[in-house]
Amino acid sequence: MCAWNLVGTTPARADVPWPTASEGGRASRATSSGEDALSVSQAVEIAAGALDALPLLTVIGEVTGFRGPNARSGHCYFQIKDDAAAVDCIVWRGVYGKRSFDLRDGMQVQFTGNFNLYKPTGRMSFVAKSFTLAGEGLLRQQVAALAEKLRREGLMDEARKRHIPAFCSRVAVVTSLSGAVIDDVKRTLRRRNPLVELVCVGAKVQGEGAPDELIGALGRAAAIEPAPDCILLVRGGGSFEDLMTFNDESLARAVAACPIPVITGIGHEPDTSICDMVSDRRCSTPTAAAESVAPAMTDLAELLAARERRLASATQSLVRGAAGQVDTLAHRIVMAQGSRLAQLRSALDAAARRPCLQDPAYVVDRRVAELAQTADRLAGAIVRDQGRHRESVELLAPRLKRSTSGFSGKRHALELAASRLAHEGRALLAAPSSALSAQAASLDALSPLKVLSRGYSIAYDETGVATSADRFEPGSTIRVALADGEVTGTVTKVERGQRPQM
């Protein structure tokens, strides 16, 4: 492999003319004197060859200045750095398309690839052929996966988050009581609004067991009587690993399930934990969290003054509007009353001008005159109608006499036809009449009424004609039909097997 030596020379290459080792002194002198100097492209070619000869390298660094994928080419360009150095890095489109996660600034990533020199500009870059998360980057990936899980469950929905009062009078703070954060919160609340009551609940905010202590502290804060308006979950700044306590799943679920609204102020502005995402309000710092629940007294005074001015202005506007409405209504009432009174006055004047009110006998006199005129007209009409009817009758009499002149002949023919009809009718009815008389005589001879007329009778019980003495018992009701009526009685004695004496 090619490598730089201490004097800045390299072994000769087949494609680049270069002085031999025996000519080193002379070459060095020639170079210093300007003879046989390399061109820029030759020097870049030598450097590129040296970089190409390097094997694949595995580099761990933090991604910074990430740009990509490029809209046209799909390649990604950025730098990877550590505490002492930084190098440009390129991930071609095909390599980035096989990724299992997206690159972004701040991620700690392990790249495998080699160095490349872009000859037109002489710029060296590390071309990554593969990459994986490493160290903090892996933690960030785990945090991102947990955040996505909780987001799908709805714990980060804005609709789920509870309303926090604009003026909190009682606030609980969950944090470490030994750090500077609690002093900052107390100082901020005392400075902005000393009327806010502060309740401190201590818990570890870092290290083993910290999530469990914070969950217990949230429960104790929520159980305080009387209940606080909100709970501040705060912690000062630190590294990503220091803030991992607030990325714990159980703590995040406890924050989301807390019955009291939770406001988080964890770390600094760029730091965002899962507890920030599921809380009811996220603030950038503990101080900002304290400021959000305690408006400054001057701000409150200005707000109250502004609202007083707005209220006064609104009241004056309402009063002016109401006064205008009252004036309008009063004018409309006056106009309506005047119009109504004018109508009533006109109606009264019209009624006063009526003759019946000026002269009560006028109506009777007019009716009498009308009745007399009607009687005269009726009498004239009756005379005229009688004359017309008399003329009509006089005209009809000759016509009636002429129309009845042929009745005598027709009357004679009708009398002859009636006589013939009566004779034929008697002849046709003679035989049926004789038969009917014979049958009537036979029917009369067989009639039960005929038998009754000879002194016989018919006995009836409750069900009909009784044909046997067995139909009766002493005390039974009996009805006897005679020729001229019926007799009803009660049986006192029944003798069976005896015929009546004739």
DSSP label at residue 125 = E
User: 325: helix, coil or strand?
Assistant: helix
Q: What is the pLDDT of residue 126?
A: 95
Using an 8 Å Cβ cutoff, are 91 and 128 in contact?
yes
d(C-alpha 109, C-alpha 464), whole Å: 126
d(C-alpha 227, C-alpha 244), whole Å: 29
8 sits in the region (left: phi over 0; alpha: psi -120 to 50; else beta) called left
User: 285: helix, coil or strand?
Assistant: coil
Which mean pLDDT values do the consecutive 10-residue runs of the chain (502 residues) have?
34 42 41 68 90 90 89 92 92 89 85 92 92 70 84 89 87 90 89 88 89 93 92 86 85 92 86 87 90 81 88 92 92 93 90 76 83 91 90 84 76 88 88 87 76 75 80 83 83 73 51
Classify the C-alpha dihedral 235-236-240-241 as positive or negative.
Answer: negative
**Three-class HEC string of 37-83:** CCCHHHHHHHHHHHHHCCCCEEEEEEEEEEECCCCCCCCEEEEEECC
DSSP label at residue 17 = -
Using an 8 Å Cβ cutoff, are 109 and 131 in contact?
yes
Reported as half-sphere exposure (CB side, CA atoms, 13 A), residue 431 has a value of: 3
Using an 8 Å Cβ cutoff, are 129 and 58 in contact?
no
SS3 content of the chain, % helix, strand, coil (to 5): 50, 20, 30
DSSP label at residue 465 = B
Chain mean position to CA 423: 104
Q: What is the pLDDT of residue 498?
A: 59
DSSP label at residue 167 = S
d(C-alpha 207, C-alpha 209), whole Å: 6
Q: What is the pLDDT of residue 220?
A: 93
d(C-alpha 450, C-alpha 443), whole Å: 10
Using an 8 Å Cβ cutoff, are 232 and 185 in contact?
yes
pTM beyond 0.85: no
d(C-alpha 488, C-alpha 286), whole Å: 123
At what angle are helices 210-222 and 249-257 packed, to 10 degrees?
A: 10
Using an 8 Å Cβ cutoff, are 36 and 84 in contact?
no
d(C-alpha 231, C-alpha 257), whole Å: 13
